[in-house]
Structure 1
Amino acid sequence: MTQQEVRRTADQVLSLAPDSVSRKAGSKLGVPERWFGAGCSREGVVWGVCRGGDGMSYRTVAGTADPLESAGPVSDCTCPSRRSPCAHALGLLLLWSRGEESVPVAGAPDWVGEWLAARGGSSSEEGAKSPAGERGSGLADPEAARRRAERRAERITAGAAELEQRLADLLRSGLATAERPGYGLREETAARMVDAQAPGLASRVRELGSVVTSGPGWPTRLLEECALLHLLGRGWQHRERLPGPLAATVRTRVGLPSAPAGPPVRDHWLVLAQYDLPEPRLTTRRIWLYGIGSGRTALVLSYGPAGRAPDLALPVGLALDAELSAHPGSGRLRATLGERFAPPAPATVRPPGVTTTGATVRYGEALRDDPWQESVPVTLDDVVPVPDGDDWQVADARGDTALPLVQGPAGRSGLWRLVALSGGGPVKVFGECGHRGFTPLTAWAPGAGEAVRL
């Protein structure tokens, strides 16, 4: 089977983006109305001309090699962007991922053929010329990919050092300065982290703004978040001295993409929960799975560009006979769904549960391995939702401990479904436990065979 016959998914394409800015811009460009003359070959090349918002048109060509490979696909574009791959290349690959109705197999135009010829005869990363533009990407060269990775690491290191200085300036001037109108730490520093190709640092810097407006006690919470930012920056600067799994976690947290590591695990995976986190130009779908045979819990992420839902959708409560490949990191919860051997089927198995005390212990253990972990997946056994003033909590039916309930993706309606399912009696609930409390996602009533999404 040729490369072209296996079209990659949107989330695999978006994992190539060098930063969140490119990812969002590429998502906007992955629609047919932005392209003309788009086509692809069975040898693994896709091309097209993009109508830019500035009135210009840009010739773009990209290889369709597996996006999870470390070197990524070959790409070139006449746009002036210095990012690699640029937003036009990401948009073109997203369009190609839609199928042959969006990008049909066709004969390559002359400029693509000339680019292929130039690429085949060029061994230089920086100085190659191509008909598609003034520079050749050289992405097919593993040595060039290694040098690019080194340059990006240097930029991230410089960005982490600058972030450390800005955090020190904030502490010297006092946390109260963060409340002043026009205070520029957040957006200006976040933009600097984007320039440093560290989108994970940029995202955490932007979140500082919500802490300042979070109500009484915000200085304490701001100091905590600044400490975590400081810890992440220092972790990156000294990553060579960290244990392998923790170093992988640091790389992921600063925003470097990760590929699955190790052999895939085949199991019957029970779909515990699925929900979307919408952003202005991107939707992230989180799917929690439980391996009935392995006892492992895994998180599968899927991304949808602007105007499109993520490609992957799995029915909650059913089991899937499939392979999963774990990504590196301390928790090793993130995984990529591989080959599926049968359609999802009903399952009567439920994941084993813990008490509310056990859930907090599990979260504490996760923080030991990943201090930036906001929550962990847990299943609570025999808990009852009870009112707590204006809020709610889940209490152990046979104990005296409880966890505050945090509204899930469905908001208050999910809470009311949980209360109605319980009817004042104990239920089994799966969700995410973090420093704010427990977010319920799926529940099972005693004796009921089906899972209820909350």
Structure 2
Amino acid sequence: MVETNHDSPTLGIDTWTADRVVALAPDPSSAKNGKGLATLNKWSNLGKEQQIIWGECKGSGKDPYRIQVDLSEPAFRCSCPSRKFPCKHGLGLLFLMVSQPTVLTEGTPPDWVADWIASRTKREEKQKQKLNQLEKAIDPEAQAKRAHARLNKVKAGVQDLQMWLNDLIRQGLTSVRTESYQFWEQPAARMVDAQAPSLARQLREIPSIINSGTGWESRLLAKLGKLYLLLESFQRLESLPLPNQADIRNQIGWTQNQSELITALENSSTSSQSSQYLQQDLWLVMGQQIETEERLRVSRTWLWGKHSHRYALLLQFAHGTQAFEVNFGLGTSLEAELAFFESAYPLRAIIKSRENSSSFVSVGEIVGYETIDLAITSYSSALVKNPWLERFPLTLQQVIPLHRDGKWFIRDRANNLLAIDPRFERVWTILALSGGHPVMIFGEWNDNHLYPLSIWVEGNFYSA
């Protein structure tokens, strides 16, 4: 069974078009296969009730696949084994709805649809109850004691790490070339004990830099320089502005849960803070990436505000095979108020509230960088505010994928080149989608490479 919950504005049947259905497809082949299923002889038990549509589609087995869609988000569920979101059957039902809307007759949902609706409602209620319980469970006095105890542990760990780095620099960077992984794991484990998990993660990333090929020395020096800047900044934490303090704490490993974030913003006495960290807008889903760290899966979804012209990063975490709380449809949009985490350059956010809307964002409304130089200049300005930015959202207009000297690049109309991340495995896909013509590409920039997440071709969004 496959289920997904693609967040976008509430839409009636009349507002859907074939292009909007294509925009939901995870890849061109899914869109093509979905269109192939949009024939009435493949479907049975079709129906609708308000924003819910459903139907059964003939498959390879004896039993048809059962598909239901909530158009208000849209959310999908299909009984097929596909791991694509949405699957071709969900797309096929939407294509059928667009081409032959009268075949979806008004009626009472069958039990399998009613059960799905009830389960989604129950899940939403549980989430609200969970947030309420978190708010009630907060004991300010006990919380302050725990925070003070952790701060003392982190301070001791930071002092140890500074001494270790000083010894490393005195020995010279080339001395670490032959060191084993354990050389870096020992101080990393010390940072875990000091309750500074993000420092541990940064230390564990260093061996991959040493083995990254020509120029590793300069990359290692840059990494250690940022790490040393972080440690020095932590020693002067209380003398820095509050947004910078938040960035430093985040890089050390402090976290803030959703309930605490919203409560802090609602209790804020300054209107300037509210305008900076609370943003109502129509948000377009620009790109998504799911990474796995041992058994923990991390989902990153980038949004772009139509009116605010600002980016927002939504993070979700799931353990093992557990489903993410929400799955967002690439190219869809949602009318929502986001709450941003405190930062000198706010990017990470959570959804505070949502509203219904029938608006869509078109390609002509997206503000992207016309040249790579402008994009890097914007990135440089962001680094001035937060030197520890690890991923920066870039939307590049009128660019072409290019292969040169065994490496892949993105070329703008001024013939500037931006290196594509060597880890990116679908470069031939974006080349095929572009057809060698200028397209718009969105991705994450990490100071060395761009990792493409989506490509917009002729008004349609595709996952890169």
SS in 1 for 2:144: helix
Determine if the alignment matches structure 1 residue 425 to structure 2 residue 437: yes
- Aligned partner (choices 230, 234, 242) of residue 232 of structure 1: 230
SS of 2:227's partner is: helix
Amino acid at match of 1:257: T
Are residues 152 and 407 of structure 1, via their aligned partners in 2, closer, same or farther at CA, if it must alter by over 3 Å?
A: same
Q: Does 1:374 align with 2:384?
A: no
Residues 319 and 344 of structure 1 are in contact (CA less than 8 Å); yes or no, is this contact kept in structure 2? Answer: no
- Which residue of the partner structure matches residue 444 of structure 1? 456
Q: Secondary structure at the match of 1:275?
A: strand
Taking structure 1 as reference, are residues 425 and 319 closer, same or farther at Cα in structure 2, changes over 3 Å only?
same
On the 8 A contact 1:407/1:440 being kept in 2, the answer is: no
Alignment of 1:412 onto 2:421: no
Tell whether the 8 Å contact from 2:287 to 2:454 is kept in structure 1 after alignment.
Answer: yes
Residue 451 of structure 1 aligns to a residue in which SS? strand
Choose between structure 1 and 2: higher helix proportion: 2
CA contact (8 A) 1:363 1:375 kept: no
Distance 1:168 1:390, change over 3 A: same
> Which residue does 2:209 correspond to in 1?
211
Instruction: Please give the alpha-carbon distance, in whole angstroms, between the structure 1 residues aligned to 2:279 and 2:422.
Output: 33
Partners of 2:279 and 2:165 in 1: CA distance:
43
Deviation by residue 1:354-381 (Cα, 9 ceiling, x = unmatched) = 1111111111112111112123112111
Normalising by structure 2, we get a TM-score of 0.64
In structure 2, which of residues 293, 317, 331 is the aligned counterpart of residue 303 of structure 1?
A: 317
SS of 2:168's equivalent?
Answer: helix
Counterpart of 2:31? none
Aligned to 1:351: 366
| C-alpha contact (below 8 Å) 1:274/1:285 kept by paired residues | yes
CA distance in 2, matches of 1:344, 1:273: 21
Partner SS for 1:372: coil
3-state SS, counterpart of residue 412 of structure 1: coil
Instruction: Answer yes or no: is the 8 Å Cα contact 2:296–2:317 preserved in 1.
Output: yes
Taking CA–CA contacts closer than 8 Å with sequence separation of 6 or more, which of the two structures ends up with the larger relative contact order?
Answer: 2
Shift of 1:290: 0.9
- Displacement of 1:293 in angstroms is 2.0
Classify the secondary structure of the residue corresponding to 1:312: coil
Query: CA RMSD of the aligned region, Å?
Result: 2.5
> TM-score, normalized by length of structure 1?
0.65
The one-letter amino acid of 1:403's match is: L
In 1: Cα distance, 2:404 partner to 2:219 partner: 23
Residue 150 of structure 2 corresponds to 152
1:280 aligns with 2:280: no
Distance in 2 of aligned mates of 1:234 and 1:344: 49
Paired residue total: 317
Structure 1 position 175 matched with structure 2 position 189: no
Per-residue CA shift, 1:414-447, capped at 9, x if unaligned? x1222112222111111122321222211112xx
| Amino acid paired to 2:159 | A
1:453 corresponding residue in structure 2: 463
Indicate the residue corresponding to 2:408 in structure 1: 392
CA distance in 2, matches of 1:182, 1:270: 45
- 1:86 matched residue in structure 2: none
Q: CA deviation at 1:296?
A: 1.7
- Deviation, 1:326, is 0.6
Partner amino acid, structure 1, of 2:341? H
Give the partner amino acid of 1:219: E
Q: What is the Cα deviation at residue 167 of structure 1? A: 0.7
- CA drift of 1:209 comes to 1.6
Kindly provide the amino acid, as one letter, of the partner of residue 351 in structure 1.
I
8 Å contact from structure 2 (residues 306, 361) kept in 1: no
Give the Cα separation in 2 of the matches to 1:140 and 1:158: 27
C-alpha separation between the residues in 1 aligned to 2:233 and 2:253? 13
- Aligned partners of 2:344 and 2:327: how far apart in 1? 27
- Provide Cα deviations, 1:3-36, integer angstroms capped at 9, x if missing partner: xxxxxxxxxxxxxxxxxxxxxxxxxxxxxxxxxx
Partner of 1:330: 344
1:321 match: 335
Q: Distance in 2 between matches of 1:214 and 1:390?
A: 16
Instruction: Please report how far the alpha carbon of residue 186 of structure 1 lies from its aligned counterpart in structure 2 after TM superposition.
Output: 1.2
- Superposed, 1:22-37 pairs within 5 Å as none
> After the TM superposition, which of the residue ranges 143-152 and 399-408 deviates more from structure 2?
399-408
Note if 1:340 corresponds to 2:338.
no
Q: Partners of 2:455 and 2:419 in 1: how far apart? A: 16
Q: CA deviation at 1:176?
A: 3.2
Gaps of 5+ in 2: 1-119, 127-136, 266-273
Counting only pairs closer than 5 Å after superposition, residues 77-226 of structure 1 correspond to structure 2 as 140-182=138-180, 184-226=182-224
Letter in 1 for 2:429: R
User: Does structure 2 conserve the Cα–Cα contact (< 8 Å) formed by 1:395 and 1:402?
Assistant: yes
SS at match of 2:195: coil
Change (3 A) 1:449 1:400: closer
Distance 1:418 1:246, change over 3 A: same
Unaligned runs of 5+ in 1: 1-97, 105-138
